[in-house]
Structure 1
Amino acid sequence: MDYTIREMRTDEYPLLDDFLYQAICQPDTTNLAPKSIINKPELQVYIINFGKQKDDYCFCAEVNNRIVGAVWVRNINGYGSIDDVTVEFAISVFDEYQNMGIGTALMKKMLEHLKELNYPKASLAVQKENYAVRMYQRVGFEIVGENGQEYIMIHRLGNGND
């Protein structure tokens, strides 16, 4: 499948609502949470006023002029936060475009971008049963902790000290 990875434009940031909802691990597809779940404060930190903080970066995947995936980072107090200087990842790819390498390509693009900007590390949280754990490990994230149902993972970008 042909796809393009590019920076998401400011006028496309409202799409992060859909990608945040898609990023929520919901193993029971017969009992999905309502989309309004993304309005919870602990989830809104990932998208509210995106693009207005200095550490807000977003790339998207496009297929036939449709955005089908996104990866974004922010310096927030989120589920995968490890300190007050490390950016936290969020990523999702629409179901019908998963398992095609798009998520891996998005992750690699963001990691490359962060490395160019001299970030020393990045973090994320992922549900333990989420199949994406293996993909995160393949691109260089390592498990550094856990809290109940989630792993906390970091990627050392090799810039400075961590």
Structure 2
Amino acid sequence: MKLWGKKVNYTIREMKSHEYKTLEDFLYEAIYIPEGMDFPQRTITKQPELQLYISEFGKKDDNALVAEVDGKIVGAVWTRIMNDYGQIDDETPSFAISLYKEYRGLGIGTDMMKQMLMLLKNKGYKQASLAVQEANYAVKMYQKVGFEIVAKNEEEYIMLCSLK
């Protein structure tokens, strides 16, 4: 089911604590798979370098928003201060975001990013970071909402957004 070109009514709200378990599903959806590559098994989310995005979610510096369509969660954006691929320092939250495929390209992700950036700014954070593979189509969206490339490794950009 593709929704391209259709107007989709959605709401963005804070994720409730009983919904944190859905983050594992959205973590899997967030994995960028280059065209022509096979999808990894869902168990990939159990790897320690991915678990740090969701393990024991709900601590002091954890924030999460969801997008809902007709009462169904179709996307999530979450941040936490962690030693991940996009880590800048111990005061900068790192982003993770994903939408189910049929809801991509409709502006929902952009809206979720903007609302999370506003939430972080209102909480007093000075900046936010993320890591994204160079080939990922989302790079343009991240730039559109204010992220800039500040570093690069073999295949990823490290991006930073000032919240001042």
Matches within 5 A, 1:15-54: 15-28=22-35, 31-51=38-58, 53-54=59-60
* Match in the other structure for 1:125: 131
Deviations 1:29-66 (A, max 9, x none): 65110010011100000000000x21100000000111
Structure 1 ranges of 4+ moved more than 6 A = none
- Paired residues in the alignment total 157
Seq. identity, %: 55
Q: How far off its partner does 1:5 sit?
A: 0.2
* Match in the other structure for 1:81: 87
* Match in the other structure for 1:13: 20
Within the candidate set 2, 12, 33, 2:9 is matched to: 2
Within the candidate set 103, 106, 109, 1:103 is matched to: 109
Determine the C-alpha separation between the residues in 2 that align with 1:139 and 1:120.
Answer: 15
User: One-letter code of the match for 1:26?
Assistant: I
Q: Secondary structure at the match of 2:39?
A: coil
User: One-letter code of the match for 1:98?
Assistant: R
Deviations 1:47-95 (A, max 9, x none): 00000x2110000000011100000000000010011111000000110
* Match in the other structure for 2:5: none
Deviations 1:136-162 (A, max 9, x none): 00000000001111000000000xxxx
Q: Secondary structure at the match of 2:90?
A: coil
Within the candidate set 52, 61, 66, 2:72 is matched to: 66
Matches within 5 A, 1:113-152: 113-152=119-158
User: One-letter code of the match for 2:101?
Assistant: D
Q: TM-score, normalised by structure 1?
A: 0.95
Q: TM-score, normalised by structure 2?
A: 0.94
Contact 2:148–2:161 at 8 Å: present in 1 too?
yes
Determine the C-alpha separation between the residues in 1 that align with 2:71 and 2:36.
Answer: 28
* Match in the other structure for 2:61: 55
- Listed as ranges, the gaps of 5+ residues in structure 1 are none
